[in-house]
Amino acid sequence: MDRDFDYNLKIAEYIFEIFKSNLPVVWSWGIDPASIQVIDLGVKFHVQGFKHKGNVQVVYNEGEDLFEVSLIDENDKTVKTTEHIFLGDLISVIDDAVEKTDNYQERICQEYGIVTG
């Protein structure tokens, strides 16, 4: 059921308030600010992470007070959905799906030409 745009905007703002709690991690996803869209009960945005390049959709489940995160590829196909995410886990769930690799420090050094001792 589509909600009123103002209500959906409040939900999107709520999600971004959560994101503000750890901006360095959120910005590491390579969010394209121009891609941010208010959707029914959430927000959708494009990322350029190490693990996922495409869209991320975050939807708030009002009844459970939990979130659902979907990864959508460049062809607009949903490749993964994670449900029942607690507020305190939202950023880490997205980070694990979009950016964080097993060899994350090594990838950072390669990506940015950082030479370690």
Using H for helix, E for strand and C for coil, what is the string for 33-64?
HHHCEEECCEEEEEEECCCCEEEEEEEEECCC
pTM of the model: 0.87
25-79 pLDDT tens trace: 999 999 999 999 999 999 999 999 989 999 999 999 999 999 999 999 999 999 9
Q: Give the start-to-end residue ranges of the domains of the chain.
A: 5-112
Token reading at 111: 């990506």
pLDDT of 116 higher than 90: no
Calculate mean pLDDT across residues 3-27. 95
Distance of CA 27 to the CA centre of its chain: 10
Q: How far apart are CA 58 and CA 71, in angstroms?
A: 9
Give the chain's mean pLDDT: 91
